[in-house]
Structure 1
Amino acid sequence: MVQVVFLHPDLGIGGAERLVVDAAVALKSQGCNVQIWTAHHDPTHCFSETLDPDLPVVSVCIPVLRLSRHKKKVLFYCHFPDQLLTQRTSTLKKLYRAPIDFLEEYTTGMADLILVNSQFTAGIFRETFRSLMGVQTDVLYPSLNTRTFDQPSNEAHDLEGLLPEGTSHLFLSLNRYERKKNLGLALEALAALRSTLPASQSVDVHLVVAGGYDERVSENVEHYAELKELSSQLHLGDCVTFLRSPSDSMKVALLRGSHAVLYTPSREHFGIVPVEAMYCCCPVIAVNSGGPLESVAHGKTGFLCEPTAEAFSKAMERLVMEPQLRRDMGQAGRKRVHDKFSLQAFSGQLHDYIVSLSH
């Protein structure tokens, strides 16, 4: 039996964490013995699969694994270079990060096999790790574990009490409460849409801003307050509902009941939310850069737009005014996920990579 250990620093509820969990589940289904090692795991702020005792969670010092690398095969799945996730706002910060950045590049090159989650990330990898230009990187698209999304539910019942009575045009923003996710764009797009729709329709439009929220993370707390203030400044009133760390069942109900998901980050390395939305027959309105260029088929499963309120609101207006287009895009999105992002295809490819390393 092939033994596989995943290492991830904080097993919360973000896209990267979802990918780790799905990969672990995929390899278990292929007969591998799987463990996840992490420095932090909160049973009240995690994916339900990680509560399974067959996926033990312990602390680990990654350099120890590197030192014992001659005994272990290492597959590195690059979600995005870590050094690009931290701003260098001062000379002191640059000096502090320099050895860490060097270590990241050096240890990444020690891997026996490097996978990336998109062609976009492959390009960023080559731009960032100049000393690894000659290293081959294979693209393995993240999959969608559809088990959660296939559970029977009643959207009207699940959303009862969450939305104002009479809501007929629901849009959803689903992302962590982080400034880089540009969630304010969704609020600005809603305000622009309400100014162009007839009064009889604008009152029926509602936006739910939902996403991962951790009290330990100051940015989550601060940005949540910033978005509430922006909503007030835009005079959106009761047209917006903010949800923090919604349950899986609530997320699925929102995806199934929404006209579209507004996916606002720019240069996002992949982003699993558009795939989740398409599987739920929900069109996606996303920024025309990064991963969505590979996951969303423009004009077929959604719209790829410039990151402006005007561009997003025009796409939203089309989905409000053209119900058949919304339905056609939803069906096309569901098929696209089956064809390109199925768990079966991901499981098979990842297992083949693992087996190739074990020989």
Structure 2
Amino acid sequence: MGRKEDSKMNIAIVHPDLGIGGAERLIVDAAVELASHGHKVHVFTSHHDKSRCFEETLSGIFQVTVYGSFLPRHIFYRLHAVCAYLRCLFVALCVLLGWSSFDVILADQVSVVVPLLKLKKSSKVVFYCHFPDLLLAKHTTALRRVYRKPIDFIEEQTTGGYDERLKENVEYLEELKSLAEKEGVSDRVNFITSCSTGERNELLSSCLCVLYTPTDEHFGIVPLEAMGAFKPVIACNSGGPVETVKNGVTGYLCEPTPEDFSSAMARFIENPELANRMGTEARKHVVESFSVKTFGHKLNQYLVEVVSSPKED
């Protein structure tokens, strides 16, 4: 007999680093929504800084357990992927050996843990691929290609916010500050590297529109948060925003040039009512297609179906 959708499950989520990026926002929302359906949810991770995390991870809605925080994230700013694999494998090993069975284990981002987690025969395993690391990583030099080859192979076979621990984030922030100084606008620019949910909501409520500048972003949570706050989005015409932003309706999709972005910004500055109209459409679009409740319902339905299906040999 299949499991009913309202049946309660014991769910484990394995996530590499429970910080404040878009990937973490998704996992936190997933945990909250699954818990709201009455399931017992337990998140396992290798890093969780209680002074720099989403509030829901501290609220008791779901349990968070950290394993392997002593393991390095990099070796002299090199070998990030190898270190990530080792940290995630350690977390998965602790889940495998230290905990009783779960109905389903949701593994996120790092697929190398899937074969290990499948050793827990009483549990179903679901892998969520935020975006293949193979497509994100650079393969520009011969040495880098040699380094990536076994990692890419493992991923093929088994298939995120500002963080001062990441060297490139620190360097990029300093570059932006220097550029603001050079252009003489530093007194009109506030660099906010991390903010609470309340601070974020206050910023969204007081702005005219939201600029989202990454190119070829695999998804991007910021445009959804902006549109959910009745704000139109100006983003690059590539990657995730192509799927989430309706050009000319909920914002503008631009080429990644100062001219294109400034032209779109000028339209809203010259016509604030246009921003209001697009903001209303943006909110409607998000509620219909990308709301947390819709996401939670579909995820819950999927996991129920997975647990109800016959166990593979």
Distance verdict in 2 for CA 1:65–1:71, change over 3 Å? farther
Query: Aligned-pair distance for 1:252?
Result: 0.9
Correspondence for 1:78: 129
Task: Give, in whole Å, the separation in 2 of the partners of 1:290 and 1:335.
Answer: 22
Correspondence for 1:29: 36
AA in 1 matched with 2:143 = L
1:260 lines up with 2:209 in the alignment = yes
Query: Aligned-pair distance for 1:340?
Result: 0.8
1:223 lines up with 2:155 in the alignment = no
Task: Give, in whole Å, the separation in 2 of the partners of 1:239 and 1:58.
Answer: 40
AA in 1 matched with 2:49 = D
Correspondence for 2:64: 56
1:248 lines up with 2:172 in the alignment = no
Aligned counterparts, 1:90-239, within 5 A: 90-108=141-159, 212-239=161-188
| Structure 2: stretches of 5+ with no match in the other structure | 1-7, 68-90, 93-112, 309-313
The percentage of counterpart residues that share the same residue type is 50
Query: Aligned-pair distance for 1:88?
Result: 3.0
Query: Aligned-pair distance for 1:282?
Result: 1.1
Task: Give, in whole Å, the separation in 2 of the partners of 1:45 and 1:58.
Answer: 15
Query: Aligned-pair distance for 1:38?
Result: 0.6
Aligned residues of 1:3 and 1:34 also touching (Cα < 8 A): yes
TM-score, structure 1 normalization:
0.68
Task: Give, in whole Å, the separation in 2 of the partners of 1:35 and 1:65.
Answer: 18
1:66 lines up with 2:74 in the alignment = no
Q: 2:47 aligns with which of 37, 40, 47?
A: 40
Correspondence for 2:273: 324
Query: Aligned-pair distance for 1:45?
Result: 1.3
1:337 lines up with 2:305 in the alignment = no
Aligned residues of 1:11 and 1:46 also touching (Cα < 8 A): yes
| Structure 1: stretches of 5+ with no match in the other structure | 109-175, 177-211
Query: Aligned-pair distance for 1:317?
Result: 0.4
Question: Equivalent residue of 1:289, what SS?
Answer: coil
Question: Equivalent residue of 2:42, what SS?
Answer: strand
Deviation string, structure 1 residues 78-109 (Cα, Å, up to 9, x no partner): 1111223332343232222211111111111x
Distance verdict in 2 for CA 1:70–1:107, change over 3 Å? farther
Task: Give, in whole Å, the separation in 2 of the partners of 1:256 and 1:52.
Answer: 25
AA in 2 matched with 1:245 = S
Correspondence for 1:351: 300
Query: Aligned-pair distance for 1:337?
Result: 1.2
Task: Give, in whole Å, the separation in 2 of the partners of 1:102 and 1:66.
Answer: 19
Structural RMSD (CA): 1.7
Task: Give, in whole Å, the separation in 2 of the partners of 1:266 and 1:332.
Answer: 24
Aligned residues of 1:271 and 1:291 also touching (Cα < 8 A): yes
Aligned residues of 2:236 and 2:256 also touching (Cα < 8 A): yes
Task: Give, in whole Å, the separation in 2 of the partners of 1:104 and 1:261.
Answer: 35
1:7 lines up with 2:14 in the alignment = yes
TM-score, structure 2 normalization:
0.78
Question: Equivalent residue of 1:348, what SS?
Answer: helix
